Amino acid sequence: MTIERYETGPRMAQAVAHGDLVFLAGQVAADVVGTGVTAQTQQILEQIDRLLMQAGSDKSRILSTTIYLADIGTFAEMNAAWDAWVDGQNPPARATVEAKLAAPEYRVEVVVTAARGTP
């Protein structure tokens, strides 16, 4: 069974698909200048849409997600952006914890595992 990689650099790939599973790299917002949790979460969720589409999946087929917040006090703010985006009929398993991220500008990071149609 082959492994397909998407948006691949020398250090990591943004998405890796194997069989009917897709694993995304931790997504942080591409544009963080002057943005808060709401805007960063919205950007990240759009990035997830794009990566899942490339790999033959979509948000209705997310199986599991881990959300890291630089400040757990922004939980409600992240959730508002999440709730506006998630497929409420097909939501994933989810865990949210606080963790300092790779750069202080990053307020949110989201990791996703999804299913795709078997190739």
Q: Which residues bind a copy of itself (CB under 8 A)?
A: 1, 3, 5, 8-16, 18-21, 23-26, 61, 63-64, 66, 68, 72, 75, 79, 82-83, 86, 88, 90-102, 109, 111, 113, 115, 118
Q: Which CB, 23 or 39, lies closer to a copy of itself?
A: 23
In terms of residues, how long is the chain? 119
Residue with tokens 């069989």: 19
Interior angle at CA 24, CA 18 and CA 27, nearest 5: 170
CB 44 within 8 A of CB 55: no
Question: How far is 17 from 110, CA to CA, in rounded Å?
Answer: 17
Nearer to a copy of itself by Cβ, of 38 and 113: the residue is 113
CB of 19 to a copy of itself, least distance (A): 7
CA distance 99 to 29: 16
Beta bridge partners of 58: none
Q: Which is nearer to a copy of itself, 16 or 39 (CB)?
A: 16
CB of 49 to a copy of itself, least distance (A): 16
From the CB of 52, what's the least distance to a copy of itself, in Å? 12
